Amino acid sequence: MNEKIVILDYGVGNLVSIKNMLKSCGVDAVITNDPGMVAAGHKYILPGVGAFDYGISNLRSAPYFSILESRVLKEKVPVLGVCLGAQLLAGSSEEGALPGLNWIPGKVIRFGKERMSEHNLKVPHMGWSEVNIKKSSRLFEKMPDSPRFYFVHSYHWVCERWQDELITSVYGYEFTAGVERENIIGVQFHPEKSHKFGRKLYENFAKLY
Amino acid sequence: MRRVRVIPVLLLKGGGVYKSLKFRDYKYIGDPINAVKIFNEKEVDEIVVLDIEATVSQKGPDIKTISEIAGEAFMPLTYGGGITSLDQVKRILYEGVEKVAFNAAAWNTPGLIEETARKFGSSSVVVSIDVKADLFGRKRVYISNGSKNTRTTAIQFAKRMEDAGAGEILLNSIDRDGTFNGFDLELISEVAQAVSIPVVACGGAGSLADFRNAVKSGASAVAAGSYFVLQRPHRAVLITYPSEEQLLKGVYSEI
């Protein structure tokens, strides 16, 4: 349990909120962009808010990027992408021109405008939604009933392989709200801002992976 | 079933939480950290904290207090009050605040809205629009805690802010503030129709039926101050929030 959780700093996102939430469930985490600290990490959280290209180019030029890549892909160290951090795990995004990490095969697409207006819904999808758990995962172990999470996004994941789809949610239509493949996980919502549900999710990531 | 966000708004003044009646008659509610902790326990959808002195006193945002509040807020948090630079925005968001709200600065320096949206994304940018009937009964946008008439309509200003990159409009009726008499539905409806970004209704909520009516009039989310911190008829301090069941029955299932 005394494993080191590293919140990856690449100049994008909600780092302090994640650290605060982990602290509230008794887990210490470090926010860093130091290659040595990243190399010593036992678990990674990849946060992120904002535009895809800005995020991926910042991450790729972070001083620890090659270390992170080898820790995750070769040594299979668990990584949890949050919001934009989850989208960066994909191969591409309609929001940007640059390729994503492609750590899980799939792409990120925009909420279809026509389908949204059919339901009189506005984009971004901003607010609380319940999620449907599509496959058993330690991440959702002993979660309170009908877990709901806070979303803010205009784009969502589409998996290439259905087996990688972890959860879905509904906004106008059912969309992929989380992915998991081996040691790599991504969730579209903000667990750090999702009360007891988010706290449990981080606790599970910290203790069960 | 469709959920809508139901949002308590806390007004900060000299480090304490206060609640106004028509932007006057401030009543002391309590300590902000304590209020946020109570709202945590009640699992509120989101909170908005507005420092109503920061612009008028020219002190700007109190980063230390913002940081303390953010450290306790395990729900989305919007901060507004006295923000005049991109640097302040950056510091505030870094502390764990999701969205920044602009009122006077949105009027005085719309370029700041554009820059903030470009750098941090539209979904981080809220423009808070306060509306009051002027001497001739015409509804106009007022800034700086309701002290200055811009002589502009809410529709005009909301459209301009949408074009500048705002991700959300917090639409407040000064005349309804603290009255428990219900939202200004006409105002909500005309602004929600004029823009395609979410409009959050504020000012006048007295019941769950009021929330429902605001959503039916086009609001994407509903906000209130007094409804969550004061109890009628004597405006006694009581911090409350409807339960999941009450919201389901009184709001979500009816919209």
In tens, the pLDDT along B42-93 reads 999 999 999 999 998 999 999 999 999 999 999 999 999 999 999 999 999 9
The whole-number pLDDT of residue A2 equals 55
Q: Percent of chain B beyond pLDDT 70?
A: 100
The whole-number pLDDT of residue A51 equals 84
Inter-chain contact B71–A150, Cβ cutoff 8 Å? no
Rounded-to-integer distance, Cα B73 and Cα B97, Å: 9
Is A190 a known active-site residue?
A: yes
The whole-number pLDDT of residue A49 equals 84
The whole-number pLDDT of residue B233 equals 87
Q: In the 3-class helix/strand/coil scheme, how is B42-80 assigned residue by residue?
A: CCCCCEEEEECCCCCCCCCCCHHHHHHHHHHCCCCEEEE
Cα B66 to chain centroid distance, Å, stands at 16
Best mutation target, A9, A12, A14, A16, to test chain B (most B CBs within 10 A): A16
Is B130 a known active-site residue?
A: yes
- Please report which confidence band the pLDDT of residue B40 belongs to, taking 50, 70 and 90 as the band edges: very high
The answer for B 33-62 residues in CB contact with A (under 8 A) is 40, 43, 45-46
Inter-chain contact A20–B220, Cβ cutoff 8 Å? no
Rounded-to-integer distance, Cα B17 and Cα B162, Å: 30
Specify the length of chain A in residues: 209
pLDDT in tens, A87-134: 999 999 999 999 999 999 999 999 987 788 777 788 888 899 999 999
Report the pLDDT averaged over residues B188-217. 97
With CA atoms as reference, report the closest residue to A177 among A112, A130, A120, A137: A130
Mean pLDDT of chain A: 94
Asked if A128 and B45 touch (Cβ cutoff 8 Å), the reply is yes
The catalytic residue among A69, A190, A195, A203 is A190
Asked if B191 and B230 touch (Cβ cutoff 8 Å), the reply is no
The whole-number pLDDT of residue A1 equals 46
Rounded-to-integer distance, Cα A190 and Cα B228, Å: 25
- Evaluate if residue A69 carries a pLDDT over 70: yes
Higher-confidence residue: A125 or B154? B154
